[in-house]
């Protein structure tokens, strides 16, 4: 694979700047979550939300359950993509389970942080690069993945575009591959409200009709939906994919999606 050359964890020769270490290409796609991830203020607030040390117990439990469930879907020989890897917390625990794990994110500050973590912790089978959900087919067209993870309710950052996002991710999958999703459900509303308030999301509100959290401030524009079973089924159908598994856990769902077999 063209990205295997960086598997040693060492930087490529032109790596004297952080800019040079970023792989892939910048996004052309504007999405609901682009803005807050591309600015330093937004990125700083968002990074606080991703830090496991800041999570309240219900949310931390949801992430611990996710680890156990994910591992059941992985094999040693797998190449896995984490779409929207953020600061790399998931890459760290997937790494020992598989042959290769690639993290992509369209926010350069997050790519830098993840790459620093990978180097610091000598994660030899992890690569992090700039990339866009909606251009996976171009970036990885010759190297599809066994599993693509879209975690921390990232699907919920794209209201109205969920099916489009799943279809785009499916283009990076092997024929028998699976997309794994971690989605928040109704029971997440109270703990997330408490969590987001504590970490200082500006102008936080929960819109009952839309079933979505929103927050907005200088350099920060955030939306995150709450899912239920009918909505998940509808999105998967609309994407032309097949639901392989839906597991309801304490405050949300773990969902496995595969390509339809004709």
Contact call for residue 161 and ligand SAM (CB under 6 A)? no
Stretch that binds ligand SAM, among 73-81, 139-147, 150-158, 205-213 (CB under 6 A): 150-158
Q: How many CA atoms lie within 13 A of 67 on its CB side?
A: 14
Among positions 110, 145, 180, 191, the unique one binding ligand SAM when judged by CB under 6 A: 110
User: How many residues form the binding site for ligand SAM (CB under 6 A)?
Assistant: 23
Shortest gap between Cβ of 133 and ligand SAM (angstroms)? 4
From the number of C-beta atoms within 10 Å of its C-beta (0-12, 13-18, 19+), residue 166 rates as buried
Contact call for residue 252 and ligand SAM (CB under 6 A)? no
Contact 137, 127 (CB under 8 A): no
Q: How do 252-259 and 173-184 pair as beta strands? A: antiparallel
Instruction: Extract the tokens encoding 130.
Output: 């700039």
Helix (H, G, I), strand (E, B) or coil at 102: strand
Instruction: State the virtual CA torsion across 64, 68, 70, 71 in degrees, nearest 10.
Output: 130
Shortest gap between Cβ of 262 and ligand SAM (angstroms)? 29
Q: How many CB atoms lie within 10 A of CB 181?
A: 27
Among positions 80, 90, 126, 183, the unique one binding ligand SAM when judged by CB under 6 A: 90
Going by C-alpha positions, the residue among 139, 32, 145, 44 that lies closest to residue 86 is: 44
Contact call for residue 65 and ligand SAM (CB under 6 A)? no
Contact call for residue 133 and ligand SAM (CB under 6 A)? yes
The CA-to-CA distance between both ends of the chain, in Å, stands at 29
In the range 22-51, which residues lie near ligand SAM by CB under 6 A? 27, 29, 31, 33-34, 37, 50
Contact call for residue 151 and ligand SAM (CB under 6 A)? yes
Contact call for residue 62 and ligand SAM (CB under 6 A)? no
Instruction: List residues binding ligand SAM (CB under 6 A).
Output: 27, 29, 31, 33-34, 37, 50, 84-86, 89-90, 104-107, 110, 131-133, 151-152, 154
């Amino acid at each position: 694979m063209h990205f295997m050359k960086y598997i040693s964890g060492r930087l490529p020769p032109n790596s004297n700047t952080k800019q040079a270490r970023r792989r892939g290409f910048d996004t052309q796609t504007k999405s609901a979550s682009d803005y807050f991830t591309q600015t330093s203020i937004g990125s700083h607030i968002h990074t606080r939300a991703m830090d496991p040390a800041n999570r309240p117990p219900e949310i931390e439990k949801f992430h611990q359950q996710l680890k156990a469930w994910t591992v059941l879907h992985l094999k040693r020989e797998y190449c896995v993509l984490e779409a929207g890897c953020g600061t790399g917390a998931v890459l760290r625990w997937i790494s020992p389970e598989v042959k290769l794990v690639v993290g992509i994110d369209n926010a350069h500050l997050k790519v830098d942080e993840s790459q620093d973590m990978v180097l610091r912790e000598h994660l030899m089978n992890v690569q992090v690069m700039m990339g866009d959900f909606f251009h996976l087919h171009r970036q990885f067209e010759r190297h599809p993945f066994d599993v693509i993870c879209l975690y921390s309710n990232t699907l919920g950052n794209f209201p109205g575009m969920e099916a489009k996002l799943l279809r785009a991710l499916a283009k990076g999958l092997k024929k028998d591959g699976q997309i794994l999703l971690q989605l928040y459900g109704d029971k997440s509303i109270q703990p997330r409200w408490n969590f987001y308030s504590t970490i200082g999301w500006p102008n936080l509100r929960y819109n009952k009709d839309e079933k979505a959290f929103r927050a907005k401030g200088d350099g920060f524009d955030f939306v995150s939906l709450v899912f239920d079973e009918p909505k998940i089924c509808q999105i998967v159908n609309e994407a032309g994919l097949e639901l392989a598994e839906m597991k309801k856990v304490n405050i949300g769902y773990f969902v496995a999606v595969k390509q339809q077999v004709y």
